[in-house]
Amino acid sequence: MENRVIGRFAPTPSGRMHLGNVLCALLAWLSARSSGGKIVLRLEDLDTHRCPPGAAGQLEDDLLWLGLPWDEGGSLGGPHGPYFQSQCTSYYEEALHTLQQQGLLYPCFCTRAELHAADAPHLSDGRVLYSGKCRHLSAEEIAEKANVHPPAIRLRVPDGRIAFLDRCQGLYTQDLAREFGDFLVRRSDGVFAYQLAVVVDDARMGVTEVVRGRDLLSSTPAQLYLMRMLHLPAPRYAHIPLLLAPDGRRLSKRDGDLSLEALRARFRSPEPILGLLAYLCGLQEKPKPKSAQALLEGFSWEKVRREDIRADFPRLLKKL
């Protein structure tokens, strides 16, 4: 058994990367490589209609331009393929079956409007806590409703708290039933849910370290619970700060001037961009241009700040 660190990039190839994705890829790469580990590239293209043809290839090209090569996955292939989630359905089916056998799943017929009813409690991450409405349907009710439209499949969460130590955010605990709720493992259109797919694939690819945005911190206890129920080993986690606009809004693909397309048109090399990100997240004291390779020296999670990074990014980039 190999015991070196296996990190991963797990982007959704729905368009060009933006600055926030670059920070995530950089920290995942630095964390794995600085300890002699390797990086797997997995394309999270479950929602195929959101992932235009060519986007995955473009993403790979951007990672290479950034100087963040991976060791396995994507078009490189490797021993743990497929590396595109759209090709992994049989693994998710198998996991679904294991959960089903333990009586953990139930069909859910709730419509969007029902889920988002005015009195539904909203969670800190913006999601809505599921009411449990379909938890106790009888076999007759299920048969009758399934005649009208196919159900989604939900996993019943237990009472009790789940805790884990995050390398960036510290100790995180969550009351799964009250703060996350019964969650979807398959949508009514048959597409497997992110929560199930990510757990199955990280285990299948031997991932030992997950570095991703802090927005996914609240999903991690649910994923840890899934791993327990599927008898899969849990990786270590580091949930990194998000990049926010001055008004607190999260940067997204809509911020066109922060996309890799715009950045590559403006900068001849990735060093100014990586140096700025390294400075903003606490890895260096000045926004000095640096390659990913050069940032390996002195990398430590102790230096990485945990709070989100709020800044006028277009202005900062102009100053470089």
Q: By the criterion CB under 6 A, which residues form the site for ligand GLU? A: 10-12, 44, 198, 212, 216
Q: Give the span between the Cα atoms of 72 and 39, in whole angstroms.
A: 7
Q: Which is closer to ligand GLU, CB of 208 or CB of 284?
A: 208
Q: Which is closer to ligand GLU, CB of 47 or CB of 257?
A: 47
Nearest distance in Å: CB 15, ligand GLU: 11
Q: Give the span between the Cα atoms of 213 and 49, in whole angstroms.
A: 23
The answer to whether the Cα torsion of 203, 6, 184, 49 is positive or negative is negative
- CA-nearest of 3, 197, 229 to 100 is 229
Nearest distance in Å: CB 44, ligand GLU: 4
| Cβ within 8 Å of residue 238, ≥6 positions away | 27, 31, 166, 167, 168, 209, 210, 211, 212, 301, 304
The catalytic residue among 253, 286, 288, 303 is 253
Nearest distance in Å: CB 117, ligand GLU: 28
Q: Which is closer to ligand GLU, CB of 221 or CB of 275?
A: 221
Q: Which is closer to ligand GLU, CB of 216 or CB of 234?
A: 216
Nearest distance in Å: CB 61, ligand GLU: 17
Q: Which is closer to ligand GLU, CB of 7 or CB of 151?
A: 7
Quickly count: other Cβ atoms within 10 Å of residue 272's Cβ.
19
| Cβ within 8 Å of residue 1, ≥6 positions away | none
Catalytic (active site) residue 253: yes
Q: Give the span between the Cα atoms of 201 and 194, in whole angstroms.
A: 10
- CA-nearest of 275, 29, 303, 83 to 197 is 83
| Exposure letters 234-244 (e unless 16+ CB within 10 A, then b) | bbbbbbbbbbb
Q: Which is closer to ligand GLU, CB of 38 or CB of 212?
A: 212
Q: Which is closer to ligand GLU, CB of 87 or CB of 293?
A: 87
| Cβ within 8 Å of residue 236, ≥6 positions away | 167, 208, 209, 210
Question: Where in the sequence numbering do the catalytic residues fall?
Answer: 253
